[in-house]
Structure 1
Amino acid sequence: MTIKIKTTFYLVLNVIFSIIIVLLNKWLYFHINFPNMTLSMVHFIVTFIGLMICEKFDVFSIKDVAIKEMLWTAMTFCGFVVLTNLSLAHNTVGTYQVAKMLTTPCVIMIQMIFYKKYFSIAVKLTLIPIILGVIINFYYDIQFNVAGTVYAILGVLVTSLYQVWINSKQKELQMDPMQLLYYQAPLSAGLLFIIVPFFEPVGNIIAREWSSTDIIMVLFSSIVAFFVNLTSYWIIGKTSPLTYNMVGHCKFCLLLVGGSIIFHESLALNQAIGITLTLGGIISYAHLKMKDNRSDILISKIEECKSLVHKI
């Protein structure tokens, strides 16, 4: 299999798995009211088992690192998965997806305030349609509820913090995403194992008469969650950020259609306008960031050439 065919294969798989996991989780919340934290814990356990199997087949190598180095990262990883799943459970699929788009401006704000990172005026301007589109979508969502909005906002904040921290931790420890996930998944599962009894009815879960369909759907959801991570990390490592962003936009649109068809979620005209604004802002942001990255690479190469000339 050539690298081009292999890349296309992984891109298609990632789109399919990413759509399936959102719709599967929504189905579990909608039809059997499966507890959110418990589902996240099962996902983490299955992901860790999957990573152990991958390591045995030399998909990646384990890097030794002190557990204390990974604890805060695991906590935020655990928090963002739980909160985004709670957002999915209490919002429509469309609103859940649109809310996630706020992660981009939130990450930029964190980097500007706490890391003094510079962003061009053009990049900052793309944040206006993103934020405005999300606000419009939430305001006109016919299933609007306070709990769903709170979970969505908290999910965005914790997800943004996680993304900033994981980027910093990856550089600090010189680890790839799968090596980090190998530590994050079991640590997060352990944290949830401790706190789940305080927030969710464990006794009801154990006593419930589970049908074979319920069990299969939970396991299927966990396996798909693992493959979402696996294909995402492969794409990030083997393609450009622009490719990954474009795949994200494709998933965004397909999930809106999927939520409308499977869960009969109606979409008001004003919501459609909000979604269009948000998507337009995200695409503009991705385009500008690619231009900035190419400029940075060019400047870096010029500086290297200058350095070589001086040495000669």
Structure 2
Amino acid sequence: MNKKVVTAFYLTLNIAFSIIIVLLNKWLYIHTRFPNITLSMIHFFMTFIGLIICEKLDVFCVKSIDIKEMVFIAMTFCGFVVLTNLSLAHNTVGTYQVAKMLTTPCVIVMQMIFYRKRFGILVKLTLIPITLGVIVNFYYDIQFNVIGTIYATLGVFVTSLYQVMINRKQKEFQMDPMQLLFYQAPLSAVMLLIVVPILEPVGQTFTHKWSLLDMIMVILSGVVAFFVNLTSYWIIGKTSPLTYNMVGHSKFCLLLLGGSLLFHEILAINQVIGITLTLVGIILYAHVKMKDNQTIIPEFEDGETKPLYKV
């Protein structure tokens, strides 16, 4: 099959899966109120099962590593997935998506503080419209709420911490994203299995009469989450960072449209201005980084630089 056709096929699948997982999770939170941490735990277990199947099919090979090296990474992995899902549950899809864009400036600040990494003046300037855009969107969000803002802020911080760590560990261990995820997913699932009885009403979860549709949607969300990772991994390896970045921008815009159509989320004109500012900043940031011939942290969600797991 023609290489361009194959690439286009995987790009289309990645865009579709990335949009579906966010909208699917939002649907679950609105219509079933399925426990957030339990849902994340299910996603981790299903991702691990999918990775085992991929390993058996020689999609990637497992690389041996001391499990102790992965414990703290797995903890931050749990943190960013759970917190970003809580942000999605308590914010509109638009605000959730825009808030995640703060990950880019947050990662840069962390690298400057903890690793003394230097960035050019143009990179720093691109962070201004990103940050201003997010602030404007939050300020004028008609569904603004304090708890949603707290979850979004914590989610950005933990996600940024995870990205900085995983980027360094990937180089240190000489492992690709799927090899790392093979260890992270089961470790994180076990960690959440331990905390679920403490933080969520397990009794109500088991006794609640979930409909067949509810259960299908939960399982489907786990399957889709895995395929987001699989297609992202393929794209990162087979296309240029610029191509993948542009795909991220398209997912950003389509998710805003999907949230508006499916969940009747109305955007105020000032929110549109904020979103536009953020998107312009992200595009300028990608352009400057490409021009400098630097490697952008792999994106495994939509829009900005991303972790190794799609939520």
Same fold (TM over 0.5): yes
1:109-146 Cα distance to aligned partner (Å, 9 max, x none): 00111111111111100000000000000000011000
Instruction: Provide the C-alpha distance between the structure 1 equivalents of 2:294 and 2:150, rounded to a whole number of angstroms.
Output: 38
The one-letter code matched in structure 2 to 1:246 is M
The one-letter code matched in structure 1 to 2:73 is T
Q: CA deviation at 1:86?
A: 0.3
1:135-189 Cα distance to aligned partner (Å, 9 max, x none): 0000000110000000000000010111110010001111000000000000000
Which residue in the other structure is 2:168 paired with?
168
The one-letter code matched in structure 2 to 1:6 is V
Which residue in the other structure is 1:28 paired with?
28
Does residue 244 (structure 1) correspond to residue 244 (structure 2)? The answer is: yes
Which residue in the other structure is 1:54 paired with?
54
Which residue in the other structure is 2:44 paired with?
44
Which residue in the other structure is 1:271 paired with?
271
Q: CA deviation at 1:3?
A: 2.5
The one-letter code matched in structure 2 to 1:184 is Q
Count residues in correspondence.
295
Q: Secondary structure at the match of 1:61?
A: coil
Instruction: Provide the C-alpha distance between the structure 1 equivalents of 2:110 and 2:118, rounded to a whole number of angstroms.
Output: 11
1:182-226 Cα distance to aligned partner (Å, 9 max, x none): 000000000000001111111000001111100100000000000
Give identity over the alignment, percent. Answer: 76
Q: Secondary structure at the match of 2:14?
A: helix
Instruction: Give the structure with the higher percent helix.
Output: 1
Q: CA deviation at 1:274?
A: 0.2
Q: CA deviation at 1:94?
A: 0.1
Which residue in the other structure is 1:305 paired with?
none
RMSD: 1.0
Greater than 6 Å deviation, 4+ residue runs: none
Does residue 108 (structure 1) correspond to residue 115 (structure 2)? The answer is: no
Instruction: Provide the C-alpha distance between the structure 2 equivalents of 1:157 and 1:54, rounded to a whole number of angstroms.
Output: 31
Instruction: Provide the C-alpha distance between the structure 2 equivalents of 1:4 and 1:77, rounded to a whole number of angstroms.
Output: 34
Q: CA deviation at 1:294?
A: 6.7
TM-score, scaled relative to structure 2:
0.94
TM-score, scaled relative to structure 1:
0.93
Q: Unaligned regions of 5+ residues in structure 1, if any?
A: 296-312
Does residue 84 (structure 1) correspond to residue 102 (structure 2)? The answer is: no
Q: Secondary structure at the match of 1:293?
A: coil
Q: Secondary structure at the match of 2:292?
A: helix
1:229-288 Cα distance to aligned partner (Å, 9 max, x none): 111111111111111111110000000000000000000000000000000000000000
The one-letter code matched in structure 2 to 1:259 is G
Greater Rg over alpha carbons, structure: 1
Which residue in the other structure is 2:302 paired with?
none
Could you say if the C-alpha distance between residues 64 and 294 of structure 1 is closer, same or farther in structure 2, counting changes exceeding 3 Å?
closer
Give runs of aligned pairs for residues 225-236 of structure 1, distance below 5 A. Answer: 225-236=225-236
Q: Unaligned regions of 5+ residues in structure 2, if any?
A: 296-311
The one-letter code matched in structure 1 to 2:132 is L
Instruction: Provide the C-alpha distance between the structure 1 equivalents of 2:116 and 2:2, rounded to a whole number of angstroms.
Output: 42
Instruction: Provide the C-alpha distance between the structure 2 equivalents of 1:243 and 1:81, rounded to a whole number of angstroms.
Output: 25
Could you say if the C-alpha distance between residues 51 and 294 of structure 1 is closer, same or farther in structure 2, counting changes exceeding 3 Å?
closer
Does residue 70 (structure 1) correspond to residue 70 (structure 2)? The answer is: yes
